[in-house]
Structure 1
Amino acid sequence: MIVGVHHIAVGVDDFGKALDFYTKALGFSIESEAEFDNVEKVDQAIGLKQARAKTAMLKAGNVFLELWHYSSPEPRDLRSRACDFGYPHFALQVDDIESEYDRLKSFGMEFVGDIVHFDEKSSAIYGRDPCGNLIEIYEIKNSETPQLDRNKLGLALSNGN
């Protein structure tokens, strides 16, 4: 039985810069950090040979986000667009998209367009983290649109405090 989604993994080209962004700008807490170099069981699990990487497991609310920075094998830059196959983006639900846009822009997030308002239902804008990964900032404006259960969230993402 599937219990739920445990974590989303994000490949980054600058571990320190990404860790700062996800903790300071987005409010994730660091649950654990690890490094490995040519560990047989890790190679077997991820399907690589002689892998070397740093990882951090981050948490906000009821979701974990895992940052990966590989130094071996040599990573390729596969910055995706919203229409590409694979895992092109993840979305963060916010309460006030305009203030989050301003706040995240002050942390250096580069947005790919302007905030779009979908009638009275929702608003969205896409931006990139410091390593180029696409993140959707998403505000839900009515109870008919599927959204996170706030009673099960635990702690909330940063509100800039």
Structure 2
Amino acid sequence: MRIHHVGICVPDVEKALDFYTRVLGFRQEETINIGGVNYYFVGDGNISIEIEPSHAPGSNSHDNGIGHIALAVDDLEVLAERLRQEKITFLVPPSQFRPDRKIAFIEDPQGIRLQLIQFLE
């Protein structure tokens, strides 16, 4: 398991994109539209940051700050079964998110949201 990206919720997406790209030198990797909300990924080749609007209608984002930590996993179904045995509740159950990946969302015991991603070959 490894950290794939960190998702941050911001009140001003354009200002955040400018800071991470122009000031810090990250490059814009991709933009994903889900339910009419754009999620922007910037990175430097080692880490990616997902920038999402805080409190956007139709999104699951929340207050400003870290929205979630995304962990890349080898086998989401195996991990999901272990989580179920531990009585962990899924915020979003394992599902095929895109043709190339499966995702799920849980919270750790302190309420930190974790996205679990399995990249499919």
Which TM bucket (shorter chain)?
Answer: 0.3 to 0.5
Rg larger in 1 or in 2?
Answer: 1
TM-score by length of 2: 0.46
TM-score by length of 1: 0.35
Hey, which of these two has a bigger chunk of strand by percent?
2
